[in-house]
Amino acid sequence: MSGIDKPLIPQAMPATWLGVMGGGQLGRMFAQAAQALGFKVAVLEPSNDCSAGQVADDLVNAGYDDAAGLEALAQRCVAVTTEFENVPAHSLATLAQSTFVAPAAACVSIAQDRIVEKQFFTACAGSSMVLPAPHQLIETAADIARVPATLLPGILKTNRLGYDGKGQVRVSSTDELQAAFAGMHGVACVLEKMLPLAYEISVLVARGSDGAAVVYPIAENVHRDGVLFTTTVPGPHVAPDCAERAQTAALAIIGALAYVGVLCIEFFVLHDGSLVVNEMAPRPHNSGHYTIDACVTSQFAQQVRAMARLPLGDTRQHSPAVMLNLLGDLWFEDGVAEAREPAWDKILALPGACLHLYGKDSARIGRKMGHVTFVAPTLAQAQASLHSACAVLGIAL
């Protein structure tokens, strides 16, 4: 067994340290999972008041490309991961010179560039059997003249740094496309054709450095204003053959990347039942939060196992689950100017309620403040608790 593949067995003296780039809620839940397995966790984050920093054993207060901060993280940690895809890939490459990094910089860089990501999906379609939506790169206003009419109506997306519906505009005509591109202030964009979408799914898949891979049950997602609203597993509309095709595609994609860690791949399911691959996130994902309460191995524990070169965990789902994102909007009822804490006691009184708050002391409209997952013996019971929670919180269904 080579040194890079040698398992990292957690120990107390001296402690075995894992590092995470990023101080958000995903880093927080990663840290909690790593600590449960006996590791200590260091977080690198420029903000000194962050969700992950509240629970981590150490906070390296530095920018994501700060040389001294990266050196401090690499010297302390035997392995490093990332909690969001916009960490500079070159920083991960720098860390990899002196410690194990998963996922690798090359994998993260693909996910950071939409056109490169789509080129990758297209290149591995022979094994995955899925393609991305028809699309075209737009780097200058002159490129718009070469856009075929068949790509409209479409969605114009910034080629880099877009997430949660940010940096996206729907366009139905060339005039709207020109106006939308002008509004992007000259950054490169990708125009994607709008397709007859029936629903959206995501597939969590994990792979170890030894090439072993596991896949989770299919999650069916509902978005509002570009932000994930609910995730339901098992997906009420997902047919068995669709689930099998999506899982097979996800395993092919993660294998083609030679990826190590947890990867989330989002797919569109069209009205004719065909699959279209949308995008991937090189990290645990919002739609995978249900795994904390409904699966044998959570997505965060799986990320720890993969980066520590330990055996991957059982992905079996033991309970149907519905997850509801909790946005900062809930703190501002009926246009009230001052934030007011929602009635968590009433939420926790509901059957199967598992509340997760992220330690953020300032609520803002659209900010992810937490989530609640409802688990139950049947999906109908979990959905009933979701409906009751939405009534308590004033969320329209």
Note every long-range contact of 169-173, with CB atoms under 8 Å and residues 24 or more positions apart, other chains counting: 170/194
Is the pLDDT score of 165 beyond 70? Answer: no
Mean pLDDT of 353-371: 95
CA within 13 Å, CB half, 251? 14
DSSP-assigned states of every residue in 185-254: TT--EEEEE---EEEEEEEEEEE-TTS-EEEPPPEEEEEETTEEEEEEES-TT--HHHHHHHHHHHHHHH
**Domains of the chain and CATH, by start:** 3-101 (3.40.50.20), 134-193 (3.30.1490.20), 197-393 (3.30.470.20)
Q: Indicate the residue type of 152.
A: L
pLDDT of residue 163: 62
User: What value does the mean pLDDT of the chain take?
Assistant: 94
**pLDDT (tens digit per residue) in 145-158:** 999 999 999 999 99
The end-to-end CA distance of the chain, in Å, is: 53
By the 8 A CB rule, do 292 and 273 touch? no
**pLDDT (tens digit per residue) in 244-262:** 999 999 999 999 999 999 9
Is the pLDDT score of 356 beyond 50? Answer: yes
The pLDDT > 90 percentage for the chain reads 87
Place of tokens 């991961």: 81
For strand 100-101 and strand 79-82, is the pairing parallel, antiparallel, or unpaired? parallel
Distance CA 213, CA 339 (A): 44
**pLDDT (tens digit per residue) in 181-230:** 999 888 999 999 999 999 999 999 999 999 999 999 999 999 998 899 99
**H/E segment holding residue 348:** helix 344-348
pLDDT classification of 139: cutoffs 50, 70, 90: very high
pLDDT of residue 335: 62
pLDDT of residue 12: 72
Identify the bridge partners of residue 199 per DSSP, sorted by sequence position: 269
Residues in the chain: 397
pLDDT of residue 128: 97
Tokens of 177: 């496309």
DSSP-assigned states of every residue in 169-190: EEE-SHHHHHHHHHHTTT--EE
Is the pLDDT score of 140 beyond 70? Answer: yes
Nearest to 190 by CA among 179, 177, 174, 200: 177
Mean pLDDT of 116-132: 97
pLDDT of residue 336: 67
The pTM assigned to this predicted structure is 0.94
Mean pLDDT of 170-177: 94
